[in-house]
Amino acid sequence: MAFVDYYKILGVDKSATKNDIKKAYRKLARKYHPDLNPNDKEAELQFKRINEANEVLSNDDNRKKYDKYGENWQHGEAYEEAQKQQQHQSQQQYQRSSGSQEFEGSDYSDFFESMFGGGFDYRDGGTKFRGQDFNAQLQLDLRDVYTTEKRVLTVNGKNIRLTIPAGITNGQIIKVKGKGGEGRNGGPHGDLLIEFIITNNTEFKRDGANLYKTVNIDLYKSILGGDITVTTFDGKVKLNIKPLTQNGTRVKLKGKGFPKYKKEGQFGDLYITYNIELPKTLSDKEKELFKELAKLQ
Amino acid sequence: MQNKHLIPLPSLCTHYKIEMSFFNGLKDYGLIEVVSVEKTHCIHQDKMADIEKMIRLHQELRLNFEGIDTVLNLLEKIDYLKAELTSAQNKLQRFTND
């Protein structure tokens, strides 16, 4: 258990007045409040620290106790324990063992809990708040999200069954209601927000439900035309290349793209761009024939 | 109350130990939509997360209605920009060769 310097946390001197403490607390609270810093764990931790500091320093009795024992708070704790044992049972209601606390002890440092117990009286029976939302990331391959999948995720030791609809996009967030943190003072659970990170190691580029692919064709096929076989996301298709197909020509294969999110049976399109490959070497005969062709132009 | 999805404001006042004037203020600033059922003002349960956020901003940061409105607008803008950024990054992947 490390000593916690509450004055340092609030950025005030030991001689700070109640008003100075209140001002410093409010300024920091506005900076680190979790509602203003969504998904920022560091801000959340800092907010808990400044709350704890404020709860000690803004209360005369607790500030006195904190100032009295300061760095030597461990001796103070022993002293307090000895005193507590002699006191009436009703005075022990704020200790952790009483089970009367209605908020999570984890909101407070070990130092705080050892000195002041689980928390302060004013919180008991206080405002009921919904638990915090939990954020999680799930990394999947593009091929994994081509079909709707059921998965079991373990979040904070709990198994959560999740249906991942086909066509989910990179960065999309799915909300699982009631699977977040426990509510404060008996409030409802928060939600679990799962962000999907979709990695694409395929030959396809994706934009929403449309897929894009570049296909190389040789010079002769681009001039004379012919059939080629192209691999789509779910199989192979035969394509007819028209004679005199230009480099960069794009064709659309309707419905051969990616599934549309939550639109069962609907697919985007696959766009094929032709890249015409010129020969890198020519035989003498070929050179001669090209020269002949050139003369005809 | 017939509609299970509606929460009466007087219940919220008791539950959150907050004055009705706070909810009236939120309504006047267009921050919440109030539905009247059998002469009781209610809000939809889907809006509870937003309302709790407004209560926290008011109680923990002492923000007035203008402040709450500003913060919510800015948070909405941040969410929109984040979504735009993700969408733009996804589109950009089409033109990268990695």
pLDDT 10s digits, A177-194: 888 888 766 777 888 999
pLDDT digits (tens, 9 = 90+) for B58-71: 988 989 999 999 99
- Strand partners for A151: A162
* Whole-angstrom distance, CA of residue A218 vs CA of residue A228: 11
Close Cβ partners of A78 (under 8 Å, ≥ 6 residues apart) = none
B1 in any annotated domain: no
pTM, rounded to two decimals: 0.63
A1 in any annotated domain: no
The pLDDT value recorded for residue A170 is 93
A31 in any annotated domain: yes
Record: contact A206-B55, CB cut-off 8 A? no
Residues A88 and A160 in one domain: no
B61 in any annotated domain: yes
The pLDDT value recorded for residue A287 is 95
B12 in any annotated domain: yes
A42 in any annotated domain: yes
* Burial class of residue A267, CB neighbours in 10 A (0-12, 13-18, 19+): buried
Q: Give the best residue of A137, A205, A275 to mutate against chain B (max B CB count within 10 A).
A: A205
pLDDT digits (tens, 9 = 90+) for A112-141: 766 666 554 433 345 566 777 788 889 999
Average pLDDT of span A230-249: 96
Quick count: other Cβ atoms within 10 Å of Cβ B54? 24
Count up the domains in chain A and report the number.
3
Using a CB-CB cut-off of 8 Å, the residues of chain A touching B95 are: 205
User: Which string of b and e fits A174-199 if b means at least 16 CB within 10 Å?
Assistant: bebeebbbebbeebbbbbbbbbbebe
The pLDDT confidence band at residue A283, using thresholds 50, 70 and 90, is very high
- Domain boundaries, position B45: 6-95
A187 in any annotated domain: yes
Residues A171 and A114 in one domain: no
CATH number at residue A148: 2.60.260.20
The pLDDT confidence band at residue A103, using thresholds 50, 70 and 90, is very low
pLDDT tens series, chain B, 98 aa: 456 678 899 988 988 889 999 999 999 989 999 999 888 999 988 888 889 899 999 988 989 999 999 999 999 999 899 999 999 998 898 887 65
- CB–CB contacts below 8 A, A to B: 53
Which residue, among A240, A271, A238, A242, has the nearest Cα to A254 in the 3D structure? A271
State how far the alpha carbon of B97 is from the alpha carbons of A232, B43, B85, in Å: 19, 51, 20
Residues A192 and A209 in one domain: no
Record: contact B89-A26, CB cut-off 8 A? no
Record: contact A129-B93, CB cut-off 8 A? no
A128 in any annotated domain: no
* Mean pLDDT of chain A, nearest integer: 83
Q: Give the best residue of A130, A172, A184, A273 to mutate against chain B (max B CB count within 10 A).
A: A130
B35 in any annotated domain: yes
Distance from CA of A168 to the nearest CA of B (A): 12
Record: contact A130-B71, CB cut-off 8 A? no
Q: Give the best residue of A26, A27, A32, A35 to mutate against chain B (max B CB count within 10 A).
A: A35
CATH number at residue A74: 1.10.287.110
SS (H, E, C) chain A: CCCCCHHHHHCCCCCCCHHHHHHHHHHHHHHHCCCCCCCCHHHHHHHHHHHHHHHHHCCHHHHHHHHHHHHHHHHHHHHHHHHHHHCCHHHHCCCHHHCCCCCCHHHCCHHHHHHHCCCCHHHCCCCCECCCCEEEEEEEEHHHHCCCEEEEEEECCEEEEEEECCCCCCCCEEEECCCCCCCECCCCCCCEEEEEEEECCCCCEEECCEEEEEEEEEHHHHHHCEEEEEEECCEEEEEEECCCCCCCCEEEECCCCCECCCCCCCECCEEEEEEEECCCCCCHHHHHHHHHHHHHC
CATH number at residue B63: 1.10.1660.10
Q: What percent of chain A has pLDDT over 90?
A: 56
Record: contact A130-B49, CB cut-off 8 A? yes
A129 in any annotated domain: no
Judge whether residue A229 has pLDDT over 70: yes
The pLDDT value recorded for residue A102 is 32
Residues A14 and A108 in one domain: yes
Chain B CB within 8 Å of residue A178 CB: no
- Domain boundaries, position A157: 134-199
- Cα atoms in the 13 Å half-sphere on the side-chain side of A11: 8
The pLDDT value recorded for residue A75 is 57
Count up the domains in chain B and report the number.
1
A68, A99, A123 — which closes off a domain?
A123
Residues A77 and A103 in one domain: yes
The pLDDT value recorded for residue A124 is 37
Chain B CB within 8 Å of residue A171 CB: yes
The pLDDT value recorded for residue A98 is 30
A174 in any annotated domain: yes
Residues A144 and A231 in one domain: no
